[in-house]
């Protein structure tokens, strides 16, 4: 679920530049949806993989890191809009980023409100990193939007790394996937979990694996479509000057992509 704040950008015929930021490759799931909504845009994807996973860092250190890395990218590439395609970075640093920079930011937070609205059993799970599910921000969303709904918070220490491995052509065994998602499935009081919020942008890379290893069918709620709609709304006055989309560029802070990862990135148009 995005954090809408900024007004639409002013009208112009030049294609917009969109910076998509994540700690690794998880933000590609958000990029995919945003690029489908605005295929004309120039895309800069920034993976701060030197410090992946973000959940291992102290909060003050992490905020300083995010603000510094994004500040350099904003200065160098002058984006028209920045998508923070990371739940951890969004819940911690969005306010600081919006206070420091004039460019609009669209963030990512756990989609608890729509999950509870669509759940028929009123039993949902929030599957995220341990850092995301333990933060007060997430618990505040539950208090505000989950009235009448039972919510299981499930923190995984391994799924983000599993997703990185999957995209690089190194899938993990089914048993490892089952162990990480087992806590999402609650069958009590004649009500089963029917919706799982994917509260890490890495996790949609594993949706097929989740479905294959789930004990019963559930709805896996991906925040990317809502983020894409918000981006499209903010850029609604920006029309492309040419039908040919500009090149898409990836920057990493710590590594050059392996051949398998490079091939996967090429599949996203980078």
Residues carrying an active site annotation: 86, 200
> Can you tell me the distance from the alpha carbon of 65 to that of 262, in angstroms, rounded to the nearest whole number?
26
Beta bridge partners of 257: none
How many of the other CB atoms lie within 10 Å of CB of 241? 11
> What are the residue ranges of helices labelled H in the chain?
28-37, 59-77, 87-100, 112-118, 130-134, 136-145, 159-167, 174-181, 207-213, 224-234, 259-267
Pairing of strands 191-192, 195-198: unpaired
Beta-carbon contacts of residue 180 (< 8 Å; ≥ 6 apart): 156, 158, 159, 162
> Can you tell me the distance from the alpha carbon of 19 to that of 33, in angstroms, rounded to the nearest whole number?
14
267: alpha, beta or left? (left if phi > 0; alpha if psi -120 to 50): alpha
**Cis peptide upstream of residue 54 (ω within 30 degrees of 0):** no
Which DSSP string corresponds to 215-244? SS--EEE-SHHHHHHHHHHHTTTB--S-SS
């Amino acid at each position: 679920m995005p954090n809408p704040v900024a007004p639409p950008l002013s009208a112009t015929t030049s294609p917009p530049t969109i910076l998509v930021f994540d700690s690794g490759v998880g933000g590609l799931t958000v990029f995919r949806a945003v690029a489908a909504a605005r295929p004309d845009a120039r895309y800069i994807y920034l993976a701060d993989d030197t410090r992946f996973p973000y959940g291992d860092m102290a909060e003050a250190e992490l905020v300083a890191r995010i603000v510094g890395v994004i500040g350099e990218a904003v200065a160098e590439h002058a984006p028209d809009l920045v998508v923070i395609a990371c739940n951890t970075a969004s819940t911690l640093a969005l306010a600081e980023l919006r206070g420091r920079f004039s460019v609009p930011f669209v963030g990512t937070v756990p989609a608890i409100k729509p999950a509870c609205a669509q759940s028929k059993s009123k039993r949902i799970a929030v599957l995220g990193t341990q850092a995301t599910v333990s933060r007060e921000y997430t618990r505040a969303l539950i208090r505000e939007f989950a009235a009448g709904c039972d919510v299981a918070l499930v923190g995984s220490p391994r799924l983000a790394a599993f997703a990185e491995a999957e995209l690089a052509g190194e899938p993990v065994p089914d048993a490892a996937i089952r162990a990480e998602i087992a806590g999402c499935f609650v069958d009590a009081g004649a009500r089963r979990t029917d919706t799982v919020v994917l509260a890490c942008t890495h996790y949609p890379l594993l949706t097929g694996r989740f479905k294959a290893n789930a004990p019963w069918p559930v709805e896996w709620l991906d925040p990317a479509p809502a983020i894409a709609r918000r981006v499209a709304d903010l850029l609604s006055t920006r029309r492309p000057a040419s039908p040919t989309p500009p090149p898409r560029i990836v920057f990493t802070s710590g590594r050059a992509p392996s051949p398998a990862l490079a091939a996967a990135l090429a599949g996203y148009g980078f």
